[in-house]
Chains A and B, each alone.
Chain A
């Protein structure tokens, strides 16, 4: 066949060549001159919003969703029992009709539920459906299941529209946990209970949007006509997934997407902010709830000496990091509890300040270090983070230039999967990390970092939060304070306990807070009402075009 094809006469060959060349040329012209949906604003007046993001959802199953990409979609297609007021960490009822009634011992929560709500498949929502969904969240053993399995003892529908939850131990922040995106009702007709029984490509909840299409690089959400609450201000949302921040940056610049959210790099945000100042588009900023911090491993020399940890706390220059590394796209942080919460106290600023090199030298000298016998410490970070890389290099540079050779920092990196596997084994003396909260309560910035289930002052933490985080911090006083705040229902009394916890961290320095992020969303000029939830979720239903 191939031979025959080559055996055409020269005249015919020339004709074919000419035809093919002409066809290719015409095709190229036609293709490149076709008005593209990507390079112009998508269909004017269709009322749908096109959102660009790099946060590809791993799954849409709320019992297994634990990353921003998945949780953001679940958040917008679902309702929870409680939710947050935009821009606030105060919870308010959503599918519940009031805040829960809590028993005297703090173990039983009774929640009245909303009537007249239906799922996307038409199944009515009631207490049985909520009981099913919470049990499924726990028993299917998805990624976030530990949030409830560690806390909840039993869930029961005690009426058609009344749910009773019993806890294993008192937990004052429990209503905030019920505002976690994954703790949403799903249709009992469409889902099953059982370990590993997940549905990654579908979603049937009660929220303002229903899933219309789940493609390999895009999703379509349509407005749910039977939604019980306020209807969305748009006619639906198209979500386009990009594999890199560069593509998202370019897609937004060329007008291919109406809104760009997650995860642009600091230099791209800087450039888009400059465009927004010129009036090319809008930049929307919100106080974030993600904190960046430094872990100090007390089981490694010389960090076993408190003076060395305190010296490093004095060395840190947060405004410099914010300016050089983050282009002022964050806020310096002086407590492990971010300023989003009123219990946060900037104690690190008061005691250690920023770039207090003389203080740092004195502390190191007290600990027995000198120019001849310098303190040598490795600073590690997961390789995928350019921001942390720059931060580590800046810290090294500060130590090299300002500490007269008494402190030598060595920057090291390792691939993310290895880093997160090894950190709990105590391999890294200092590590730079970020914390994305599971729920918005100061407890979530304290307990996972400082609590220890098993350990001693001598050996440090052997099992528990601080071991998982890599600091191996152990303090009996701290464990008691954490338990107390978890039991305490009175906000003022709880605030006092958080103050004690922050003071203890200031003295022991198992972690050093670095910065608190700001969240950025960019929207084209014809789009309005772009708002962020304090949990970093973009609220789709408010967006107008």
Chain B
């Protein structure tokens, strides 16, 4: 089979496999929520409401049905793209919640990923190009420490230093409440303010975004640093690099023009895997910085036993991760000619 045909076959099979992955996510989320202690009727009506009212509500919400029937109903609704209505913000559709909160998460995730890539590749390259030196040791330590540090702790520490003590950055939230937020186009404040041509709003939005995205970005950068360092070190020992050296090409040119671009291919794979960590990290970052994103809303919904919102948001996150991993796999297949499927 030719490479292009194999690639087409691979893409189709990946796309066909995606619904199965999503179904697994939906099933696990559904079962986990039902196994969690706590009753949504209590969460909605409160402990002081009469038991008869709670019973009526359980019936109304279909929570009195056998679990397999609830599951089938839920699957049916998902197929109709109906994620249900929030149990706590009653009257609000889950899609509405997602559309209100997701832009904040997307803005944080994209900026954090950019920071993670820039820092990780930079530190990894420095580390690999000077093996055995203090740069290498420092780079390795950086990778291990950032990977191991708990997000909420680093977030609070950075808040204390840069916000409370130095007052360089705002302590929390996405935009000052006393200023009009950028007009919604994409929901990403930095982008919307630029599209609206308002630089003052852009800098204000960026000012608020800086600390949370730096926190999440730097903590994720350790993964990329490790990958780049290991791969670049191996690449620098490759025959074609030796040949380039023999031809008298400078070390910098070899490093950047020849070795780095090959060493970066595994980064694309890791990028897909890191996407799930990114969304997980976003929950802690958003809660730490009062960032009004979807992950923060998810945290609140879990505390409230708001089944439809938790299920809806997790399925949405699941769909993003599955889509991202497919795209990364396809990109990987295109970029690396050695890959065969």
| A binding-site residues for B, Cβ under 8 Å | 2-3, 6-7, 9-10, 13, 24, 27-28, 30-32, 34, 36-39, 42-43, 46, 48, 50, 56, 58-59, 61, 64, 66, 141-143, 145-146, 150, 195-201, 215-220, 238-244, 246-247, 250-251, 253-254, 256, 415-418, 420-421, 423-424, 438, 448, 463, 468
Contact = CB atoms under 8 A, between A and B. Distances in A.
A457 to B, nearest CB: 23
Contacts of A415: 37-38
A217 B100 CA distance: 11
A56 B88 CA distance: 12
Contacts of B210: 28, 31-32
A150 B257 CA distance: 78
A465 to B, nearest CB: 9
B274 interface: no
13 contacts: A13-B257, A31-B169, A39-B169, A58-B304, A217-B291, A238-B177, A246-B156, A254-B167, A417-B42, A420-B47, A421-B37, A421-B39, A424-B47
Contact of B37 (A216, A244, A417): A417
A276 B52 CA distance: 49
A218 B173 contact: yes
B101 A216 contact: yes
Given A141-B53, A200-B90, A421-B42, A39 B167 contact: yes
Contact of A36 (B92, B159, B204, B264): B204
Contact of B91 (A30, A150, A200, A216): A200
Contact of B290 (A201, A215, A243, A463): A243
B315 to A, nearest CB: 20
B252 A198 contact: no
Interface string B289-312: 111100011001001110000000
B178 A56 contact: no
Given A50-B177, A417-B38, A254 B44 contact: no
Q: Which of A43, A56, A244, A247 has the most CB of B within 10 A?
A: A247
B331 A64 contact: no
B203 to A, nearest CB: 5
Contacts of A66: 46
B50 A215 contact: no
Interface in B145-175: 156, 159-160, 163-164, 167-175
Task: Tell me whether chain B's interface is mostly helix, strand or loop, or mixed.
Answer: helix
Given A250-B163, A254-B164, A196 B60 contact: yes
B290 A247 contact: yes
A453 B42 CA distance: 20
B203 A56 contact: no
Given A146-B50, A198-B91, A417 B305 contact: yes
B100 A216 contact: yes
Contact of B92 (A201, A215, A468): A201
Contacts of A247: 159, 171-172, 289-290
Given A200-B91, A216-B297, A448-B48, 7 more contacts: A2-B331, A31-B169, A38-B176, A58-B304, A150-B50, A201-B92, A216-B101
Interface residues of B, number: 74
B89 A10 contact: no
Contacts of B257: 9-10, 13
Interface in B27-52: 37-39, 42-51
Contact of A42 (B118, B178, B207): B178
B92 to A, nearest CB: 5
A34 B208 CA distance: 11
B130 interface: no
B287 A243 contact: yes
A241 B286 CA distance: 13
B72 interface: no
A2 B264 CA distance: 10
Contacts of B300: 56
B20 interface: no
Contacts of A27: 206
Contact of B207 (A34, A240, A448, A468): A34
Nearest to A146: B49
Contacts of B286: 243
Given A38-B208, A247-B290, A418 B38 contact: yes
